[in-house]
Amino acid sequence: MLPVYQQTHASEVAVKIHKRWKLLAVAAALTGMSLNVNAGVLAQSVLEITNFRFLNPDGSIISVGQFDFLAFQDSSQVTASLNGTTATQTINSTAFGTLDLPQQCVGNCAGFPENDYSHRLLATVNVARGDSLLQGAPILNPVAPSPADAHVVAEAQLIGGGNGNVQGNLGLTASFSFSLTNSQAVTVSLDSLSHLIASISASSNGTARASDQWVIEVADAAGNTVFSWAPNGLPGGITGGVEIVDTCNLQRTVNAQLPGQTNLFDCAGTHSATTGILDAAQTFTLGLRHQNNADATQIPEPGTVLLMGLAFAGLGFGAYRRKSA
């Protein structure tokens, strides 16, 4: 059994250690509270194109039999980066059908299934992810259904500081000439669903940016642009053709730079435009760009850093006192 003075000293040491750990627990709890209150930074861009068709003047879908030459390549590329770690992949196809690029994700990817185009409103985890899916074809053909659908998401969330950025792209290039006796115009028709959000919580410091873009162009064999259309929800945005309907801006960017700021854009649209007369004797190249981007940065709050510093300082102080005892 220890002498009384040793028992008393041991008891005092135990009380001091207990008090220190209570203080550290409070500091850690406050740090956690600060991080939780710091709901974070979110940037997300979703653009889904559906019912995408190339139409004849009578409104019927152009068929593969109307081309005497048709060659095309579908491509999809996604790059996701979070705090210096990157995931990226590109896939290509020269056949009609489904082009499903595997989701590229860095960080806390649990809870984000493949081809998840859900709209976010708050940051909940540290993650950067991008995904794309192309299905069907814009013309009638024997191997893939028509019309075509294309989906792209780029998303960056931060709740503990750092930076993330995502780029998602779908591309289509096609060379074709009509096997028609008479030259004709072509109508490009599609529906869209766009969701853009850039959000910074009231207690966060950082930046958020989300954007999407959908553009279609047709060039002749010499490389001259004969038709170009960038639907923007307003009259215009077109050369070499006539815009019929355009109800959403598909060239949109939203930004947030201030604590508590949220910039949100949601739009469901219908779009249609007709080219000029395309000469059946020529070969034309069609290029389409469907692009989404999301960028987010977050700087930890000074209070959070201070609390963490105090917690670590407390641990060091406790270790020092134990050595001195």
- Tell how many helices (H) and how many strands (E) occur in the chain: 2, 15
> At residue 275, what are phi and psi to the nearest 5 degrees?
-75, 170
Give the whole-angstrom CA distance, residue 140 versus residue 152.
24
Give the whole-angstrom CA distance, residue 288 versus residue 214.
7
Give the whole-angstrom CA distance, residue 229 versus residue 273.
8
Query: Please, which pLDDT band fits residue 295 given cuts at 50, 70 and 90?
Result: very high
Look at residue 301 in the predicted model and tell me its pLDDT.
63
Burial class (CB in 10 A: 0-12, 13-18, 19+), 36: exposed
**Where is pLDDT greater, at 123 or 306?**
123
Secondary element (H or E) of residue 207: strand 205-219
Give the whole-angstrom CA distance, residue 211 versus residue 195.
9
| b/e code 78-88 from CB counts within 10 Å (16+ = b) | bbbbbeeeebe
pLDDT at 215 over 60: yes
> At residue 10, what are phi and psi to the nearest 5 degrees?
-60, -40
Which residue is associated with the tokens 């990157």?
A: 86
Nearest to 45 by CA among 157, 187, 207: 157
Look at residue 181 in the predicted model and tell me its pLDDT.
57
pLDDT at 314 over 60: no
Secondary element (H or E) of residue 37: helix 4-37
Instruction: State pTM to two decimals.
Output: 0.82
Query: Please, which pLDDT band fits residue 177 given cuts at 50, 70 and 90?
Result: low
pLDDT at 137 over 50: yes
Query: Please, which pLDDT band fits residue 174 given cuts at 50, 70 and 90?
Result: low
Look at residue 69 in the predicted model and tell me its pLDDT.
84
pLDDT at 20 over 90: no
Q: Tens digit of pLDDT for each residue in 77-134?
A: 999 999 999 999 999 999 888 999 999 999 999 999 999 999 999 999 999 999 999 9
Locate 198 and state its tokens: 């850039």
Locate 160 and state its tokens: 């503990």
> At residue 9, what are phi and psi to the nearest 5 degrees?
-65, -45
Please name the residues in contact with 263: beta carbons below 8 A apart, sequence gap of 6 or more: 196, 197, 198, 199, 254, 255, 256
Q: Tens digit of pLDDT for each residue in 149-166?
A: 999 999 999 998 899 999
Locate 218 and state its tokens: 């047709």
Give the whole-angstrom CA distance, residue 143 versus residue 154.
30
Locate 303 and state its tokens: 């209070």
Is residue 151 within 8 A of residue 132, CB to CB? The reply is yes
Locate 183 and state its tokens: 């030259």
Look at residue 289 in the predicted model and tell me its pLDDT.
94
